[in-house]
Amino acid sequence: MLPLLLPFLSGCDEPAPAPEPRRVVVLISWDTTRADALGCYADTNHWGAQLPAHLHPQPATPVADQLAAGGVRFKWAFASAPTTLSSHTTLFSGQDQYGHRVVRNGYPVPEDVPLLTEQLQDAGWQTIGVVGSSALEASMGLSRGFSVYADPGEQQEGGMYMRNASDVTPRALAAVDARTDRDSDLFLFVHYYDPHTPWFTAPAALVSKMAVPGYSGTVDGSMQSIARLTQARHTGKMLIDDVRQARALYLAQVAWVDQQTGALIKGLSDRGLTEDALVVMFSDHGESLDEHARYPYSHGPDVDLMNVQVPLIMRGTGSLALTRGAVVERPVRLQDVGSTLLELLEPESPSLGTGEFLGPLWIGQDMPPIPIFAEATKPIPGESTQAWNNLPFERSVIFGGGMLVKNPIAGEGATLYAMSAGQPAASNPELATRLEFLLDGWSASAPAYRSVEMSSDTEAALRSLGYLDDDEAPEDAGEDGADAP
């Protein structure tokens, strides 16, 4: 475990190397990490609705928790799409998918969409990106504005187009060391893919520590074992220890990324790069972990809280210091993050997309609430070819303390939930009517259908990562909750 007595994390007065005269921003992405996979998000925990309290999974994220304790934690932050490329593009463009038109992975960012890194580069920033998955490969366009952008390249870990966090961290530090411009402000984007299935990169010692005591079943984090779990969920034959072990393996992956995030911050601190710095940690989307009968271990087909609520933490020092220990209750969007960064760093630059500046929130000022929309990006066989690709899929809106979810492709009506831990059903016909009106209006603003031609390399990478192997759910999947363990 990484020692946590780092000046940046703990706020102690230990001697540190003299800082170089620049600002440093570190944007850290944990792929496929639901907010309640972090210990500091216990107040929005959706885990274990079917389990007694003593069997609830326990996150192990001390680095993220200390970042939150010393900075700003956004209690309710939301992605607009549960897919990697689209969600990251939302952050970097300040627009949702209707503005940037990235349907899902494999659809490159259109060249007419301005990006945060382009504007920072124009303002003189050194911009470095190191990503852990080919879902964000350079050819997808998110690399625009980076002076250095290192994607995984050819097949890596386990035959997949991804890199272990233990490889991403030293690659990021090596890229920092290799930069030729040491007098400019530095923007570093680091993407960790490990929480995404299959769950196989965390060290054995960490997995053993997180695993169900005495577990002797077949859940090992491989895609084969996850497929068996899915079938068991469909047929109502899921075993409680299998459920617990799957969640433990997922949390081990998140804990592994937490450790590597600490190693990254320590490496930057050792280089004197955290004295005038801002660290922003977020995730692109969450993950279903047995909550849904139709798609029990997945992301893409659903936009419930566990799929679109994401962690968002900001911690600053020096000229980039923020309020310490602030918890923002008002819901925000990933769409607001890039706009907020640009306002903080280069306020004279042109505005970024339609995101909001979130600064007033962490100093206790009120901002008017706005509707927050999300739409699913799967199942791919059901997409529209006559209008925006994702229009037939599940979609949701959050506003007024409620969350309305609608699934046209399943023929389901709109369902209202309270926006609180566990996403309990709510009964408020007036609010439901208002939210459905807002959601239908957002859907009506969708762009036209977008086609794409993928290169053979991109297709091979996405297929390796599981993004092009999306079948319809079996007919006997049943209703959600009917076969819960």
pLDDT tens figures, 122-160: 999 999 999 999 899 999 999 999 999 999 887 666 766
Please count the CA atoms within 13 angstroms of the CA of 318 that sit on its side-chain side. 18
List pLDDT tens digits, range 109-119.
Answer: 999 999 999 99
Q: Is residue 206 part of a domain?
A: yes
Residue 2, in any domain of the structure: no
Residue 43 lies in a domain: yes
Q: Are the beta carbons of 355 and 335 closer than 8 angstroms?
A: yes
296 touches 479 (CB < 8 A): no
In angstroms, rounded to a whole number, what is the distance separating the alpha carbons of residues 127 and 148? 7
Half-sphere exposure of 405 (CA within 13 A, CB side): 20
Residue in the block written with tokens 């309305």: 404
Nearest in space to 185 (alpha carbons), one of 346, 319, 25, 23: 23
Specify the DSSP class assigned to residue 330: S
Rounded Cα distance between 59 and 168, Å, is 22
CB-based burial label for 351 (10 Å; 0-12, 13-18, 19+)? middle
Which CATH number belongs to the domain containing residue 273 in this structure? Answer: 3.40.720.10
Amino acid at the residue 208: S
**Contact call for residues 184 and 147 (beta carbons, < 8 A):** no
Alpha helices by DSSP H, listed for 148-239, are 165-178, 204-210, 223-235
Cis bond leading into 62, ω under 30°?
no
Cβ-Cβ contacts under 8 Å for 236 (sequence gap 6 or more): 478, 482, 483
- C-alpha to C-alpha distance for 46 and 48, rounded to whole angstroms: 7
Q: Quick check: 163 and 152 in contact, CB under 8 A?
A: yes
404 belongs to a structural domain: no
CA pair distance 114, 109, nearest whole angstrom: 10
Closest CA to 369 of 356, 380, 351, 359: 356
Give the span between the Cα atoms of 121 and 243, in whole angstroms. Answer: 46
3-state secondary structure of 271: coil
Express the helix, strand and coil content of the chain in percent, nearest 5 each.
Answer: 35, 15, 50
Q: Domain span at residue 83?
A: 21-370+454-477
Rounded to the nearest angstrom, the gap between the alpha carbon of residue 154 and the centroid of all alpha carbons in its chain is 24
Q: Are 352 and 98 in contact (CB under 8 A)?
A: no
Rounded distance between C-alpha atoms, residue 234 and residue 314, angstroms: 40
- The answer for residues whose C-beta is within 8 angstroms of residue 54's C-beta and 6 or more apart is none
Residue 385 lies in a domain: no
Which neighbouring-strand residues pair with 316? 278
CA dihedral 168, 174, 180, 185 (to 10 degrees): 60
pLDDT of residue 485: 32
- In DSSP terms, 313 is beta-bridged to 73, 281
pLDDT at 237: 87
pLDDT confidence of residue 10: 64
**Beta-sheet pairing, 415-418 with 402-406:** antiparallel
Look at residue 457 in the predicted model and tell me its pLDDT. Answer: 77
For tokens 């692109």, name the residue.
284
In a domain, 215, yes or no: yes
Structure tokens at 426: 């709510």
In a domain, 397, yes or no: no
Structure confidence at residue 247 (pLDDT): 94
Q: What is the C-alpha separation between 163 and 432, in angstroms, rounded?
A: 44
Bridge partner residues of 126 (DSSP): 186
Specify if 88 maps to a domain. Answer: yes
* Rounded (5°) CA angle 263-461-254: 30
All residue ranges of the chain with pLDDT < 70 are: 1-7, 10-21, 48-51, 155-157, 159-160, 465, 469-485
Provide the domain count of the chain.
1
Residue with tokens 């990251």: 88
